[in-house]
């Protein structure tokens, strides 16, 4: 049995399912397998919670069109959650707890018995309180239970023709703000626009614009660092300052997940 068969087999005894679908490759592969096995009894759900970049929402829509799976977008505002906006080390736990509540209510309304996400086994090695929140709410992870690594997810997604097979990993815009610094709509907006500027002007695919008390700290993929050397940094800095950043710096070591997961004053 190959990896895709193993994933498909996971759904074989399920009556119906909700797939929590982001714009990335992991949940896309889960949605693909669910749809292949369950057809119209599989529902992909994307949460537009106001800290999700429009790019991610657009990707989720495209994924569902490619797969042919039913797709529903639920909307709510995480910025109304005081536990989330205070942005401590449990921010992701509060985020995923709120998401779980919405998914569970929807599942009851749709009479769906199983909710799944796109967590893979490589994710379990990082500090991911959001995963704990999902697990605590009974949301299952077929990729973990089928023993998929990230590279196996990408290889399998490519083999079935999913266009997002090589899409860089992403996370909510609030992850660009250090713990201890408040999450606001203004900061999220300038982060999202700032990352669009960097992608357009530098040409990098993996981009983070960290908002550190008003300073834009630019990180790009470690395999793309040569792109920043040939970019016009002065023009880029001017663009970022025009949307509200006070200063701009380049992280010459490149992007690495969780770099600002420290409490900042």
In a domain, 255, yes or no: no
pLDDT by 10-residue block (mean), the chain, 265 residues: 92 98 96 98 96 92 97 96 96 96 98 97 87 95 97 97 93 93 96 96 94 95 88 92 96 78 43
CB distance 210 to 176 below 8 Å? yes
The residue range of the domain holding 45 is 3-159
pLDDT at residue 258 in the model? 63
CB distance 215 to 248 below 8 Å? yes
In the listed set 129, 159, 189, which residue is the last one of a domain according to the structure?
159
Q: Are residues 182 and 138 located together in one domain of the fold?
A: no
In a domain, 73, yes or no: yes
In a domain, 164, yes or no: no
pLDDT at residue 259 in the model? 57
SS3 129: helix
Look-up: residue for tokens 């599989």? 42
Q: What is the CATH number of the domain that holds 215?
A: 3.30.70
Q: Are residues 148 and 32 located together in one domain of the fold?
A: yes
In a domain, 19, yes or no: yes
Model pTM score: 0.92
The count of domains in the chain is 2
CB distance 17 to 116 below 8 Å? yes
Q: Are residues 70 and 153 located together in one domain of the fold?
A: yes
pLDDT at residue 261 in the model? 55
- What number of other Cβ atoms are within 10 A of residue 221's Cβ? 16
Report which DSSP code applies to 168. P
pLDDT at residue 262 in the model? 45
Q: Are residues 181 and 242 located together in one domain of the fold?
A: yes
Rounded Cα distance between 13 and 224, Å, is 44
Look-up: residue for tokens 């992991």? 26
pLDDT at residue 228 in the model? 84
Q: Are residues 115 and 219 located together in one domain of the fold?
A: no
By DSSP bridging, strand 42-48 and strand 70-75 are parallel
pLDDT at residue 231 in the model? 81
Rounded Cα distance between 166 and 32, Å, is 16
């Amino acid at each position: 049995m190959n990896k895709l068969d193993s994933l498909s087999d996971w759904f074989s005894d399920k009556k119906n399912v909700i797939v929590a679908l982001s714009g990335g490759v992991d949940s896309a592969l889960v949605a693909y397998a669910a749809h292949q096995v369950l057809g119209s009894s599989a529902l992909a759900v994307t949460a537009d919670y106001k800290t999700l970049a429009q790019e991610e929402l657009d990707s989720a829509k495209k994924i569902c069109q490619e797969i042919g799976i039913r797709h529903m977008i639920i909307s709510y505002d995480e910025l109304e959650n005081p536990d989330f906006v205070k942005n401590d080390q449990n921010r992701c736990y509060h985020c995923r707890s709120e998401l779980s509540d919405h998914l569970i209510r929807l599942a009851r309304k749709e009479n769906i018995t199983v909710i799944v996400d796109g967590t893979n086994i490589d994710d379990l090695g990082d500090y991911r309180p959001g995963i704990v929140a999902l697990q605590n709410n009974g949301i299952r992870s077929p990729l973990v239970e089928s023993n998929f690594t990230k590279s196996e997810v990408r290889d399998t997604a490519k083999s079935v023709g999913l266009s997002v097979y090589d899409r860089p990993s992403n996370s909510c815009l609030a992850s660009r703000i250090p713990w201890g610094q408040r999450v606001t709509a203004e900061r999220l907006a300038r982060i999202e626009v700032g990352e669009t500027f960097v992608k357009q002007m530098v040409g990098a695919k993996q981009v983070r614009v960290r908002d550190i008390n008003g300073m834009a700290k630019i990180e790009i993929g470690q395999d793309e660092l040569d792109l920043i050397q040939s970019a016009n940094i002065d023009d880029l800095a001017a663009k970022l300052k025009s949307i509200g950043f006070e200063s701009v710096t380049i992280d010459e070591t490149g992007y690495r997940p969780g770099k600002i997961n420290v409490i900042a004053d």
